[in-house]
Chains A and B, each alone.
Chain A
Amino acid sequence: MLMSRILILLISIGVIGLVAPVSIASDQPQSVDVIAELIDQADDGATITVPEGVYQGNLVVSKPITLLANGDVVIDALGKGTVIELRAEGITLRGFTVRGSGSTVDHEPAGVRAFDGPVTIEDNTFEDVYFGIDLRQSPETIIRNNHLVGKDLELGRRGDGIRLWWSHGCVIQDNTAIDLRDMVFWYSEDLVIERNKVSQSRYGLHFMYSHNTVMSENELTDNSVGIYLMYSNNITLKHNRVVNNRGSSGYGIGLKDCDDIVIEDNALLANRVGIYIDNSPSSVDAVGLITRNSLSFNEIGLLATPITHDNVISENVFVENEEQVAVHGGGQLTLNSFEKDGRGNFWSDYAGFDLENDGIGDLPHAPRSLFRNLLAREPNLRIFVHSPAQQAIELTARAFPDLSPQPMFTDPSPLSTVPKLQLMPSSDSTNPWPMAVLSAGLFFSSLCIGWFFVYTPCESDTQVPHPPRRVDA
């Protein structure tokens, strides 16, 4: 009897020992078929809560249902194909981690690809995906609060973070994209694009033939280009922050053949080019409005092709751009207006004065630069910028007005004080202490070295007694 009890005890211990690994096994990755079965069993419009865990494989959703992640739900395609395909309208995908799409160029595998709209894609995290979210004719879709990180590929070889194809009326808000190619909108109209952050990508926001959209409060940093609008009309850019986009094109905002663009209250800082205008507006009766932006610390503040016309550029702040305004290939911008209702722009290099104290400079701002003129003719000379030789040429031109070229543009009423701008504040704060320590370190180490050299005796003075002083002959 005792024997059998001990036996039972031993067996039960053994069973527990065997069961334990089994219960661990449920934490092991499962197939996405588990989710697919849940979807199969659900009715249209149902809400499915997916239990926590890692699910491997490619998921296709072809029923209008709501998929919610219960905690940390990872769907991993293990580097093959598109992770999740949404093939019905009315699908909601919320809270998932989408990981490991393929990276072949021919099928353009994505984290989530939608073929029908509207769908809602919210609060998801995308890791190691080729394309992030790809909408193919999914109108009125909502893409909100997703975090996307791309694959570590060369810039042109990467996939797009968010791509819209023929998807009108979509809302794209609060998304973050890092290490991807573009956030690109093809043939999609009436979009709302707000508060997205794109960094270390190729084009932050890229419009192709997509009209009638307002973009506001987006933050685009460290990309090749911040915002590039191409062949897209009637677009308003407001309160965006475009900083440090210095790739091979390096435009903060680029406009190519776009009509009726409004650029207002944007901060365009430390880009290679603040705003680049290539033949915009292109239609006869269209205009471009560039108002109350800060174009500061860029290599070139405003760059435009010589045929650019009918832009009204007023109340902007041009501070300390290496070149404030430049014409691509040389020429003048006289077909554009640099003032509106008697108010021009603020130029940090304005050399005039304001005796009347009305906030408007008494002399027009008509910068002329011999060196810039030379640069436009001979681009190779750009290697000499930031050098005293450049200053020498400018000085010569000033001393001999005959050498001075025609002014590139004229601002008839430049602002004499910096106007108050309503820009989006920076989200990153910098710590001044390392610089302060460097400052103090440099200062005092210099003084200490000086003190050491002057006041410490020579090494041998301490070892060798001074011989009697000799008198020079």
Chain B
Amino acid sequence: MTTLSTDQFHGHEIQTHAGPGHTSRMYCTIAFAKREFFDALSSRWFLLYTVAFSVLSIGVSYMSLAGSGSQGFAGFGRTTAGLLNLIMLVVPLMALIAGAGSIAGERERGTLLYLLAQPITRTELLIGKYIGLGIAICCSMGIGFGLSAAVLAFNAGGVGLGSFSMLIVFTCMLALAMLSLGMLLSVLSRRSGIATGLGLFSWLTLVFLSDLGLMAGTVLFKLRVQEVFAIAIINPLQAFKMGVIVNMNASLDVLGPVGSYASRTFGDSLSWILALTLVGWIVFPLGLALILFCKRGGI
């Protein structure tokens, strides 16, 4: 972690900055965002995730298109299905760990006290960090998706451009939601080790445990379709997955009776409902993190 360069963040600048209050507040937030982004770039994890995500998404795109060329047909659907699994594994991990390290890491190193001593509000600090990390993660995935799109364009032509774009939008929302949750865990934890542990546990829960639990519940309690659907979309990963599939197929019929039920009941608004679920996962954990962060001390 690079140390804070004092000439950028001490009070002088902000006080001498000529302009209305909210401009300087914006400036503080952006300055924090920049610093966070810079930290992300200079730390190894960002580079590692970018390389890993790029290589995996190129691999998945290439493998799922193998053999399709001879048939003059683009297997875009399969590429997306392959990418879905990859995204659902890697992106939450990346965002949760990044978010978990953000505040707790500063707190552990003692730099958080220093930051809070500056004439900035805690909200600015937290939001600034969130924006910086969010942009860093989205850029990291943007590189991966860009390379993946190149593979698609080369092998399959322009098939599925719209749904591929929607895949990117939903993935960014998923990343922001997971980042939001990670920051909440970070605010709650005293040390970065604990925060990371909590982040990993949340990842395991969201990716595997909750789905497996719901599967068992469906079989054991003979849950009805509406119950299965309602419980399933609480999980942001399922909401993300359904959102991508709805935009790809215009219906959730491929997800069996539960999907058919959802498509019939909600129709065209289904895509919005799923997107709103993800937005909820962005807003609520972040809001909670803000409230807790403002109440807690810097230590």
Given contacts A267-B73, A430-B74, A435-B149, contact A387 B238 (CB under 8 A): yes
A438 and B149 form a contact (CB under 8 A): yes
Given contacts A269-B73, A380-B257, A387-B88, contact A297 B68 (CB under 8 A): yes
Which of B75, B153, B208, B215 interacts with A435 by CB under 8 Å?
B153
Which of A269, A374, A379 interacts with B257 by CB under 8 Å?
A379
- In chain A between 343 and 384, which residues have their CB closer than 8 angstroms to a CB of chain B? 348, 374-375, 378-384
- In chain A between 443 and 473, which residues have their CB closer than 8 angstroms to a CB of chain B? 443-447, 449-450, 453-454, 458-461, 463-464, 466-467, 469-470, 472
Given contacts A246-B253, A272-B253, A272-B254, contact A439 B211 (CB under 8 A): no
Instruction: List the A side residues contacting B75 at CB < 8 Å.
Output: 270, 296-297, 319-320
Which of B73, B228, B229, B255 interacts with A297 by CB under 8 Å?
B73
A383 and B258 form a contact (CB under 8 A): yes
A459 and B67 form a contact (CB under 8 A): no
Stretch of B135-143, B185-193, B283-291 with 4 or more beta carbons under 8 angstroms from chain A: B135-143
- When chains A and B are docked, how far (Å) is the Cα of A425 from the Cα of B73? 9
B135 and A453 form a contact (CB under 8 A): yes
Nearest opposing residue in chain A for B148, CB measure? A439
B73 and A426 form a contact (CB under 8 A): yes
B81 and A322 form a contact (CB under 8 A): yes
Stretch of A15-23, A63-71, A121-129, A388-396 with 4 or more beta carbons under 8 angstroms from chain B: A388-396
The yes or no answer to B34 lying at the interface (CB within 8 A) is: yes
The yes or no answer to B62 lying at the interface (CB within 8 A) is: no
Query: What does the 1/0 interface line of B53-73 toward A look like (CB < 8 Å)?
Result: 000000000001011101111
Nearest opposing residue in chain B for A442, CB measure? B146
Which of A423, A432, A443 interacts with B142 by CB under 8 Å?
A443
- In chain A between 390 and 426, which residues have their CB closer than 8 angstroms to a CB of chain B? 391-393, 418, 421, 423, 425-426
Nearest opposing residue in chain B for A424, CB measure? B72
The yes or no answer to A299 lying at the interface (CB within 8 A) is: yes
The yes or no answer to B212 lying at the interface (CB within 8 A) is: yes
B7 and A464 form a contact (CB under 8 A): no
Given contacts A387-B237, A431-B157, A459-B27, contact A380 B228 (CB under 8 A): yes
The yes or no answer to B30 lying at the interface (CB within 8 A) is: yes
The yes or no answer to A385 lying at the interface (CB within 8 A) is: yes
B143 and A432 form a contact (CB under 8 A): no
B77 and A439 form a contact (CB under 8 A): no
Instruction: List the B side residues contacting A380 at CB < 8 Å.
Output: 218, 223, 225, 228, 256-258
- When chains A and B are docked, how far (Å) is the Cα of A389 from the Cα of B235? 13
Given contacts A387-B85, A469-B7, contact A446 B139 (CB under 8 A): yes
The yes or no answer to B109 lying at the interface (CB within 8 A) is: no
Nearest opposing residue in chain B for A436, CB measure? B153
Q: Whole-angstrom distance from the CB of B62 to the nearest CB of chain A?
A: 12
B64 and A320 form a contact (CB under 8 A): yes
B258 and A382 form a contact (CB under 8 A): yes
Query: What does the 1/0 interface line of B189-215 toward A look like (CB < 8 Å)?
Result: 000000000000000000110011011
The yes or no answer to A386 lying at the interface (CB within 8 A) is: yes
Given contacts A378-B219, A464-B17, contact A270 B139 (CB under 8 A): no
Given contacts A297-B73, A432-B154, A460-B13, contact A392 B143 (CB under 8 A): no
- When chains A and B are docked, how far (Å) is the Cα of A460 from the Cα of B23? 11
B161 and A434 form a contact (CB under 8 A): yes
- When chains A and B are docked, how far (Å) is the Cα of A379 from the Cα of B225? 10
A430 and B17 form a contact (CB under 8 A): no
B68 and A435 form a contact (CB under 8 A): no
B211 and A453 form a contact (CB under 8 A): no
Nearest opposing residue in chain A for B31, CB measure? A458
Instruction: List the A side residues contacting B89 at CB < 8 Å.
Output: 388
Instruction: List the B side residues contacting A464 at CB < 8 Å.
Output: 12-13, 16-17
- In chain B between 145 and 169, which residues have their CB closer than 8 angstroms to a CB of chain A? 145-150, 152-154, 156-159, 161, 164-165, 168
Instruction: List the A side residues contacting B107 at CB < 8 Å.
Output: none
The yes or no answer to A327 lying at the interface (CB within 8 A) is: no
The yes or no answer to A164 lying at the interface (CB within 8 A) is: no
- When chains A and B are docked, how far (Å) is the Cα of A426 from the Cα of B41? 46
The yes or no answer to B241 lying at the interface (CB within 8 A) is: yes
- In chain B between 2 and 34, which residues have their CB closer than 8 angstroms to a CB of chain A? 6-8, 10, 12-14, 16-18, 27, 30-31, 33-34
* 25 A–B contacts, CB within 8 A, in A order: A270-B73, A270-B75, A272-B254, A320-B67, A320-B68, A348-B66, A379-B257, A380-B218, A380-B258, A384-B211, A388-B85, A388-B88, A392-B208, A435-B157, A435-B159, A439-B146, A439-B149, A445-B142, A453-B37, A454-B37, A454-B38, A458-B34, A460-B13, A460-B27, A463-B17
A-to-B contact residues, CB < 8 Å: 243, 246, 248, 250, 267, 269-270, 272, 294, 296-297, 299, 317, 319-320, 322, 348, 374-375, 378-389, 391-393, 418, 421, 423, 425-426, 429-436, 438-447, 449-450, 453-454, 458-461, 463-464, 466-467, 469-470, 472
